Structure 1
Amino acid sequence: MEHGPLAGQIVEAYDGMSAQLQAAARYVLDRPRDVALLSMREQARQAGVQPATMTRLAKNLGLDGYDAIRDAYASALRAGDIGFAGKAGAQALTQKLKGDHALAGEVLASMSRQIAGLMEEAPLNRIVAAAKRLASARRVYCLGLRSSHSAAWHFHYILSLIGEKSTILDGIGGTGSDMIGRATEQDVLFVVSVLPYTRATIEIAEYAHSRGIPVIAITDSEVAPLAKLSEAAVIIPTDSPSFFHTMAPAFAVAEVLATLVAGHGGDEALEALRRFDDQLGAFNVHLTTRAIKRQP
């Protein structure tokens, strides 16, 4: 996901801002297209702050007022400098009025555009850099809780097919995080988390970081907790016409990362896959055409 012309300045000043200013700053950072197109009052409403907070944000960044921010983003948009950032929030408010077919189409179209945006140069560079770091690790510890679990588990499952490189931090009885105690600086913690961030995920990542274990993340903002902890972070959009944030881009990135890591595995990965195929055949895991019985 691309950000606007003030992204670097916002990230640098973010930690020193109040909670309200951070909410406004995050909106500007994560919704560059909306900053260029929507009124200040509408942006404040979507950010959950008062309009005066948007003005204070501008002054915090050394600008005369919020119009200076909007003008900068509008100029960048006209010049083609802002990548796709999702549907405008104002449109999302009316989607439920269009009917089930229209809403389903909006959700699928939004996912398609978001995933297509990951093929731009900047996101691809991040994905490739993250994959190379994961491939070079002795072992990869995978973590994703709640809505992020599926992306982390899918990444782990693909790697499990090519050997014993991956460990999922997911255990019965609250023991999932115990395995990270075995990690060293030669390993990597691969972690997925998006807003609202699960407390346990961030705490485990902070623990790993404090012990010198590299963190590779999929998250949703340059100012997300994981982005600050990570050696490499892939930033994905989560906006959706649905009431629930989308995890489709995170899942897609996890699958791409696993594919690239597997490709770095060479002959050892191929041999592991042959053994796995033999095991699947021995246990007759998959349904075969001959096993399907048609009803008369």
Structure 2
Amino acid sequence: MMRLARWLDLDRYEDMRSVYAKALRTSAESPLPERRQDGDGGYSTVGVVAGTLAAEIARLGECANAMQLIAAASVLAESRNLFSLGLRAEHPVAHHFAYTLSRLGRQAVVLDAAGGLGIDALRGVGKGDVVLAAGIEPYCRATIETARQAAHQGVAVVAITDSSVSPLARMAKASVIVISNSQSCFKSIAPALVASEILAKLIAAKSGMNVDEVVKEVERQLAELHVFWKPPDSRKRGGLAVS
């Protein structure tokens, strides 16, 4: 890839990737192509959607966006209590962020409003606490109101959102801006989901912990609880041991 970049008169592979990502983002402004009449079985649609999302995710690695992620992770890593907020379409982002962190030895409370009690976790919070809030247009009213309540109590807000002037970005101490055009009839959360994973990794790195040792210990504890499925012993057939 480096030789190809130089052949194209580019200094670095990152320059070539940036050009490619910009070209895909430009094509993302075109309407989703209709299914071809020769019966391609939807392959063209798959290619367009996959290519668009790949470009949007690759964009997170560009310098300006990487700096946003690093700045956001610095705020999150220094938190006393950490919360994760995302409702409706963005709920998987909030949940996955908390789950990924838990595998890395750090806990985040998901403000998922289960039974209408999600905001109750904000009782007693204040300066030193941080909430990661995910919101993509159309913005969920409950997400905005919960983040605003947290900010009112002195909690720092870190946003994963799609605009620097979104309601979340305007109240956030740090923001990660993602593109959510999936070339389909819905906004994609894939870039936001990837951003949350990057943040989790950065937080673990900034914590000073031995991540490898923490992961091994977490996996050991989960194995004791038989959380994950394992294939049956190959030496057994139908419950009987095979000699």
Is TM > 0.5 for Structure 1 vs Structure 2?
yes
Q: Residue 30 of structure 2 corresponds to which residue in structure 1? A: 91
Name the SS of the counterpart of 1:91 in structure 2.
Answer: coil
Name the SS of the counterpart of 2:123 in structure 1.
Answer: helix
Q: Pick the aligned partner of 2:86 from 141, 144, 149.
A: 144
What residue identity is the alignment partner of 1:280?
Answer: L
| Cα distance in structure 2, aligned partners of 1:136 and 1:106 | 40
| Cα distance in structure 2, aligned partners of 1:96 and 1:272 | 49
| Unaligned segments of structure 2, at least 5 residues | 1-18, 239-243
Taking structure 1 as reference, are residues 154 and 291 closer, same or farther at Cα in structure 2, changes over 3 Å only? farther
Name the SS of the counterpart of 2:158 in structure 1.
Answer: strand
Q: Residue 194 of structure 2 corresponds to which residue in structure 1? A: 252
Moved more, 108-117 or 285-294: 285-294
| Cα distance in structure 1, aligned partners of 2:47 and 2:25 | 14
| Cα distance in structure 1, aligned partners of 2:140 and 2:22 | 28
Check conservation: 1:110, 1:240, Cα contact below 8 A.
Answer: yes
Taking structure 1 as reference, are residues 200 and 289 closer, same or farther at Cα in structure 2, changes over 3 Å only? same
TM-score normalised by structure 1 residue count: 0.66
| Cα distance in structure 2, aligned partners of 1:270 and 1:139 | 23
| Cα distance in structure 1, aligned partners of 2:149 and 2:226 | 42
| Cα distance in structure 2, aligned partners of 1:139 and 1:206 | 17
Alpha-carbon deviations, 1:74-110, whole Å to 9, x = none?
Answer: xxxxxx8x956824466224x1233511101110000
Q: Pick the aligned partner of 2:97 from 142, 149, 155.
A: 155
| Cα distance in structure 2, aligned partners of 1:265 and 1:253 | 18
Matches within 5 A, 1:22-171: 86-88=25-27, 91-93=30-32, 95-98=33-36, 100-163=42-105, 165-171=107-113
1:223 offset after TM fit, Å?
1.2
Q: Residue 4 of structure 2 corresponds to which residue in structure 1? A: none
What residue identity is the alignment partner of 2:178?
Answer: I
Check conservation: 1:138, 1:165, Cα contact below 8 A.
Answer: no
The answer on 1:204 being equivalent to 2:146 is: yes
Alpha-carbon deviations, 1:231-278, whole Å to 9, x = none?
Answer: 000000011211111111101100000011112233375554344222
Name the SS of the counterpart of 1:92 in structure 2.
Answer: coil
Taking structure 1 as reference, are residues 215 and 111 closer, same or farther at Cα in structure 2, changes over 3 Å only? same
| Cα distance in structure 2, aligned partners of 1:121 and 1:236 | 14
Give the count of matched residue pairs: 214
What residue identity is the alignment partner of 2:122?
Answer: I
Q: Give runs of ≥4 in structure 1 deviating > 6 Å.
A: 292-295
Name the SS of the counterpart of 1:189 in structure 2.
Answer: strand
Check conservation: 1:84, 1:117, Cα contact below 8 A.
Answer: no
Taking structure 1 as reference, are residues 114 and 182 closer, same or farther at Cα in structure 2, changes over 3 Å only? same
| Cα distance in structure 2, aligned partners of 1:131 and 1:84 | 29
Matches within 5 A, 1:16-27: none
Q: Residue 60 of structure 1 corresponds to which residue in structure 2? A: none
Name the SS of the counterpart of 1:182 in structure 2.
Answer: coil
Percent identical: 35
Moved more, 224-233 or 181-190: 181-190
Alpha-carbon deviations, 1:83-138, whole Å to 9, x = none?
Answer: 56824466224x12335111011100000111111111100000011011111111
Q: Residue 173 of structure 1 corresponds to which residue in structure 2? A: 115
| Cα distance in structure 1, aligned partners of 2:114 and 2:60 | 35
Taking structure 1 as reference, are residues 104 and 266 closer, same or farther at Cα in structure 2, changes over 3 Å only? same
Higher helix share: 1
| Cα distance in structure 2, aligned partners of 1:155 and 1:183 | 20
Name the SS of the counterpart of 2:179 in structure 1.
Answer: coil
Moved more, 208-217 or 155-164: 155-164
The answer on 1:278 being equivalent to 2:217 is: no
TM-score normalised by structure 2 residue count: 0.79
| Cα distance in structure 1, aligned partners of 2:237 and 2:183 | 41
Alpha-carbon deviations, 1:146-182, whole Å to 9, x = none?
Answer: 1111111111011122445311112431111110223
Check conservation: 1:86, 1:237, Cα contact below 8 A.
Answer: no
